[in-house]
Amino acid sequence: MSNPIEQIRGEALQSLASVTDSETLAAWRGKFLGRRGAVGKLFGQIGSLPQAERAAFGQQVNALQAELDAAFDARETLIQSQAMARDLEEGDIDISLPARPRRRGGLHPSTRTHREFQAIWADMGFHVYQSRDVEEDELNFSLLNLPPHHPARDMQDTFYTADSRVLLRTHTSPGQIRAMRELGAGGSKPIRVILPGMCYRQEQITARSEIQFTQVEGLAIGRNIRMSDLKGTIAEFAKRMYSPEAKVRFRASYFPFTEPSMEVDVECFLCGGEGCRVCKYTGWLEIAGSGMVHPTVLRNGGYDPSEWSGFAFGMGPERITMLKHGIQDIRYFWSNDLRFLQQF
């Protein structure tokens, strides 16, 4: 009873060796391994054999089917690899054809403004100094001339930790003390730094205020630095940030860590000073608070105020970004809404 099995085996392997394409291979499989193929017919003969011969015959047919299945898989792999090689040789795939462009993300609008700030101040001789977000009460308030119970502390609702001496900084100004102590070499070297970073205040979230926002602090310490140096530096920044024709005005103000202090306004770059909704029809936009570093703060930073002086300023990148692009709600900056972000 082995002759039919050997006959089918020889015929199947001989014809498979000449198969060179997928269509012929599929026909070969149907002829020998299909439900009504040659091997299937052998399985159909088992019931007509004597009881003693059925097991041995079935084992031989199973072995034949496994052998032909393996031969089929090997031939299929060979045909596929040959077809791929042919396609490459015949140039069906043009590897010089540009691929579909991948969609690229963009910079967050606040990040764009921060980079503009840093490029301008770097060109003016300032380098970036990174300070911590979690700060000590002493550096955030006391060493900046804001002792306990000082009324100006009420201007900044603070996030304290379980330790009342540790808080989330309410402004970037504590970085002034750290920069003076770290870079000033005991009050013997001049410094020029900007301190960008996140600030946190426990405020009601509205279209104009958030519990988190960014600031860029600036600090310059040297000998014989005067208010005229501050005014000239700020005016130059405004010309580079907004336009060469930008007009700047200064208004007297109060900050505990500077004396004298002033607010800085720039002529509205949206209406050219004629008055619009963004500038509240005044023709001016507030861009910074600034002043000469208070002698007490200089002393706390390690400098002798009788020999050294300096100026400081603080700017809000989100506010400037809102003004430049006419953004009406500060909450857009932190909502991660793609409809907003994709515009930039």
Q: What is the CATH number of the domain that holds 322?
A: 3.30.930.10
Beta-bridge partner residues of 333 = none
One domain for residues 114 and 232: yes
One domain for residues 173 and 313: yes
Question: How far, in Å, are 1, 20, 40, 41, 207 from residue 45 at the CA level?
Answer: 11, 32, 9, 7, 85
Select the more confidently predicted residue: 31 or 94.
31
Positive or negative: CA dihedral 232, 266, 295, 173: negative
* Whether pLDDT at 12 is above 60: yes
Backbone φ/ψ region at 333: left (φ over 0), alpha (ψ -120 to 50), beta? alpha
Q: What are phi and psi of 39, to 5 degrees?
A: -70, -40
- Single-letter amino acid, residue 35: R
One domain for residues 224 and 133: yes
* Whether pLDDT at 209 is above 50: yes
Q: In sequence order, what DSSP letters do the residues of 165-227 get, joined into one string?
A: TEEE-SSSTHHHHHHHHHHSTTTTS-EEEEEEEEEE------SS--SEEEEEEEEEEESS--H
* Whether pLDDT at 89 is above 70: yes
CA 270 – CA 318 distance, rounded (Å): 16
Tokens of 142: 């006391």
Select the more confidently predicted residue: 249 or 148.
249
Mean of the pLDDT values across residues 29-46? 85
One domain for residues 39 and 169: no
Q: Please give the distance of CA 133 from its chain centroid, rounded to a whole number.
A: 19
Domain for residue 101, yes or no? no
Contact (CB, 8 A) for 136 and 168: no
Nearest to 193 by CA among 139, 118, 304, 104: 118
> For 39-83, what is each residue's pLDDT tens digit?
888 888 888 888 888 888 888 888 888 998 899 999 999 988 988
CA 216 – CA 176 distance, rounded (Å): 12
pTM to 2 decimals?
0.66
Domain for residue 103, yes or no? no
* Whether pLDDT at 297 is above 90: yes
One domain for residues 156 and 50: no
Domain containing 6 equals 2-90
Positive or negative: CA dihedral 147, 151, 155, 158: positive
Structural domains counted in the chain: 2
One domain for residues 258 and 217: yes
CA 319 – CA 140 distance, rounded (Å): 22
Q: Tell me what pLDDT residue 242 has.
A: 83
One domain for residues 201 and 236: yes
Backbone φ/ψ region at 158: left (φ over 0), alpha (ψ -120 to 50), beta? beta
Contact (CB, 8 A) for 217 and 169: no
